[in-house]
Amino acid sequence: MIVLQCVDITKSFGAETILDRVKLEIKSNERVALVGRNGAGKSTLLKVIAGELSYDSGDIITPKGLHLGYLDQHSGLQSERSIWDEMLTVFEDVRDMEKKLRHLEEQMSHPDKMKDQASYETVLKEYDTLQHTFREKGGYQYEAEIRSVLSGLKFSHFDYDTPISVLSGGQKTRLALGKMLLSQPDLLVLDEPTNHLDIETLGWLENYLINYKGAILIVSHDRYFLDNIVSKVYEVARTKATLFHGNYSDYLHEKSLRYEQNLKAYEKQQKEIAELEDFIQRNIVRASTSKQAQSRRKKLEKMQIMDKPMGLEKSAKFSFDIDRQSGNDVLNISDLTVRYGEARPVVHHLDLQVKKQESIALIGPNGVGKSTLLKAIAGQLTPAHGTIQLGSKVTIGYYDQEQADLHSNKDVLHELWDEYPLTLEKDIRTILGNFLFSGEDVLKQVSELSGGEKARLALAKLMMQKANLLIFDEPTNHLDLDSKEVLESALLDYPGTLIFVSHDRYFLNRMATKIVELTDEGLTEYLGDYDYYLRKKDEERQREELRKQERSSHSSDTEVEGNDKRNYEREKEAKREARKRQREIEATELEIEKLEKEMEALEEELLAPQVYEDYEQAADLQNKIDHIQRTLETKMEHWENLQLEEA
């Protein structure tokens, strides 16, 4: 069944057309992605579909009664309720049914209060019908569903009575996503749902959406996420939407093939047109060939002329270089502790060694201290304890995810030129042009730039430093898919050393030669890319599950066999202990017998006249006798205890 059709949707803002006769179709249970550059119109199309924006012409067709849920990328849950109470609002109809069921149960518990048997049967029938509906709508598990979603979105450690108003912006956004998922719309429309999610939560969301019963329309810059979720892609570019089947990687491959095929077809047609026009030009006036020329003219007039295929839109173009090579030992962190003011340490007792040309990805849950560690390495925070030692000739370039080093009161040109005043203006403009700042764009105030533009400007400043150790904190945030790929290509060719934090798993997989996981317990290193890290973590989970199963299996076997089995095991153990005691008694008796013989021999020796008259020899023998006596008493006491246990 088709749950959504967009037919020739056109939308303009003033004189600028954003969407022009866009067609889009989604069927039940399909997972569809919208991709395209920042500003191409993806979010505009989602808002039009969700009814939050009007459109100029066209039609949006949906089945009657369709439940559509839309989550804007900037939406955060605004509520005065607690976390739990707000999630419960999703199930108000189910909870009303629950109240009515309790009321009917109360009535049925007092049949004597009803007028007659018919009244009782009417109530009973109503109860059965309502109970069936209640079960179908998930009435018996909605609280478990709430807990599951809250746990998946990292709220399990929260007190569910916490007011939403005191949460951070990112937490409110995650809660808005959770509430939307719990509402289970027939068509789920998500605009950048992966923002504010750490890697573990991204994995949970992927699994949730893969098993989701409804259809999904999604905008995301997370390529790993799109590859795992979607089976159909619409590319929004130059006001149009073009359909591709498959996931994101399939889309890239198919797009490249289509361009090559269309270009060949266009060039072939252009060659044919040129040949026809040349023949007409040379033969139209000749009587012998005039009819042939006229025939070719008619063919040319009937020909449907192809437009030249649009090439790839202009992408940023840059590379990272270094002024000089560093030594082989780039960084040595020893027993590092970092805190803010008098607060408890954010990171503590960390050790890390970094070698030349390593590409290290630092991963871990939000709030564990990844950005804090990067700032300490970059010299922006002073360690409370421990050392950060840079290697020989190491120079650091640091990219802050918040672009804190950009000056909002400057224009784009001077933001870069003031840092490098000896560089010619034309060279500064060329560099900015490579980062897609051309013409009047370089005179924009930094404060007016979008998130993606600020990210590109910060990368331009970083490129100019030519540092041999680059530290990136979420470098792909705010970048569209094309810019991410350009950044990856530049960093793959970078001859220096990389340390970075990223939630972009595609970026992690392509860039990292080592994964360093930061948890509350410290750092764990995995020598490989992100997929290798996942395999190792999965192996660890499997081993732990196996250990749990073995313990559980042993426990279950014991319970199933019942008291006889337990009694048998206890008897078996008691006999084993009895045999052990008996062996110990016998060994102790032998030791006692041996000690008694030794003592008798020493006493006889002591009575000898030659020993008795030698004071020192007699004293030495007496000491030996006393020592044996004490040992003998200890052994006798132990033997008596064993006899008591045996009795």
In a domain, 585, yes or no: yes
In a domain, 554, yes or no: no
Q: Which has more confidence, 366 or 85?
A: 85
Percent of the chain with pLDDT over 70: 92
Q: Say yes or no: 139 and 176 in one domain.
A: no
Q: What is the pLDDT of residues 526-546, one digit of tens each?
A: 999 999 999 998 898 898 888
Q: Say yes or no: 483 and 335 in one domain.
A: yes
Q: Say yes or no: 183 and 202 in one domain.
A: yes
List strands edge to edge, sheet with 16-27.
16-27, 2-13, 57-61
Q: Say yes or no: 70 and 100 in one domain.
A: no
Average pLDDT of the chain to the nearest whole number = 86
Task: Give 128's contacts (C-beta < 8 A, 6+ positions apart).
Answer: none
Q: Which has more confidence, 336 or 121?
A: 336
User: Would you state the pLDDT for residue 109?
Assistant: 73
C-alpha dist (Å) from residue 548 to 314, 535, 562: 55, 20, 21
What is the domain-level CATH number for residue 465? 3.40.50.300
SS (H, E, C) 473-512: ECCCCCCCHHHHHHHHHHHHCCCCEEEEECCCHHHHHHHC
* 604 burial level (CB within 10 Å; 0-12, 13-18, 19+): exposed
H or E segment to which residue 187 belongs: strand 187-191
Q: Which residues pair with 191 in a beta bridge?
A: 219
Residue among 342, 334, 400 nearest 372 (CA): 400
DSSP string spanning 287-328?
Answer: TTTHHHHHHHHHHHHHS-PPPPPP-PPP--------SSPPPS
Residue range 253-275: mean pLDDT, rounded: 88
* 480 burial level (CB within 10 Å; 0-12, 13-18, 19+): buried
Residue range 168-191: mean pLDDT, rounded: 91
In a domain, 546, yes or no: no
Integer-rounded Cα Rg, in Å, for the chain is: 39
Instruction: Check if the beta carbon of residue 446 is closer than 8 Å to that of residue 412.
Output: yes
Q: What is the pLDDT of residues 577-628, one digit of tens each?
A: 777 778 788 888 888 888 888 877 887 777 677 766 666 777 777 778 878 8
Domain end: 145, 162, 179, which one?
162
pLDDT-based confidence at 463, cuts 50/70/90?
very high
**Residue 643 predicted with pLDDT over 80:** no
H or E segment to which residue 143 belongs: helix 142-152
Which domain, by its residues, includes 629?
A: 579-645
Helix, strand, or coil (residue 212): coil
Neighbouring C-beta atoms of residue 288, cutoff 10 Å: 7
Q: Say yes or no: 392 and 468 in one domain.
A: yes
**Residue 76 predicted with pLDDT over 80:** no
Q: Which two tokens stand for residue 7?
A: 């037919």
H or E segment to which residue 176 belongs: helix 169-183
Burial 502-539 (b: 16+ CB within 10 A, else e): bbbbbbbbbbbebbbbbeeeebeebeebbeebbebeee
User: Would you state the pLDDT for residue 247?
Assistant: 94
Residue among 214, 213, 233 nearest 223 (CA): 233
Q: Say yes or no: 180 and 46 in one domain.
A: yes
Cα 237 from Cα 36, distance rounded (Å):
6
User: Would you state the pLDDT for residue 284?
Assistant: 67
In a domain, 442, yes or no: yes
Q: What is the pLDDT of residues 424-456, one digit of tens each?
A: 988 999 988 888 888 888 898 888 887 788 888
Cα 491 from Cα 498, distance rounded (Å):
8
**Residue 27 predicted with pLDDT over 80:** yes
Residue among 53, 594, 435 nearest 602 (CA): 594
Domain end: 479, 509, 534, which one?
534
Q: Say yes or no: 362 and 457 in one domain.
A: yes
Angle, CA 546 vertex, CA 211 and CA 528 arms, to 5°: 70
User: Would you state the pLDDT for residue 300?
Assistant: 85
C-alpha 184: how far from chain center = 22
Q: Say yes or no: 432 and 371 in one domain.
A: yes
Cα 604 from Cα 610, distance rounded (Å):
12
User: Can you give the pTM of this predicted structure?
Assistant: 0.70
In a domain, 94, yes or no: yes
In a domain, 76, yes or no: yes
pLDDT-based confidence at 35, cuts 50/70/90?
very high
**Residue 266 predicted with pLDDT over 90:** no
**Residue 111 predicted with pLDDT over 70:** no
Cα 461 from Cα 419, distance rounded (Å):
8
Helix, strand, or coil (residue 72): coil
C-alpha 404: how far from chain center = 25
**Residue 47 predicted with pLDDT over 90:** yes
pLDDT-based confidence at 325, cuts 50/70/90?
very high
Domain end: 502, 534, 566, which one?
534
pLDDT-based confidence at 517, cuts 50/70/90?
very high
Cα 108 from Cα 124, distance rounded (Å):
7
Q: Say yes or no: 182 and 39 in one domain.
A: yes
User: Would you state the pLDDT for residue 450?
Assistant: 79
HSE on the CB side for 278, CA within 13 Å? 6
Cα 523 from Cα 352, distance rounded (Å):
8
The owner of tokens 């999610």 is 197
Highest-pLDDT range among 369-383, 559-573, 582-596: 369-383
pLDDT-based confidence at 511, cuts 50/70/90?
very high
Q: Which has more confidence, 6 or 114?
A: 6
Neighbouring C-beta atoms of residue 140, cutoff 10 Å: 12
Count of domains forming the chain: 5
Q: Say yes or no: 514 and 366 in one domain.
A: yes
What is the domain-level CATH number for residue 638? 1.10.287
Residue range 508-513: mean pLDDT, rounded: 92
Q: Which has more confidence, 533 or 285?
A: 533
In a domain, 506, yes or no: yes
Q: Say yes or no: 25 and 151 in one domain.
A: no
Q: Say yes or no: 126 and 238 in one domain.
A: no
User: Would you state the pLDDT for residue 170?
Assistant: 81
In a domain, 568, yes or no: no
Cα 215 from Cα 205, distance rounded (Å):
15
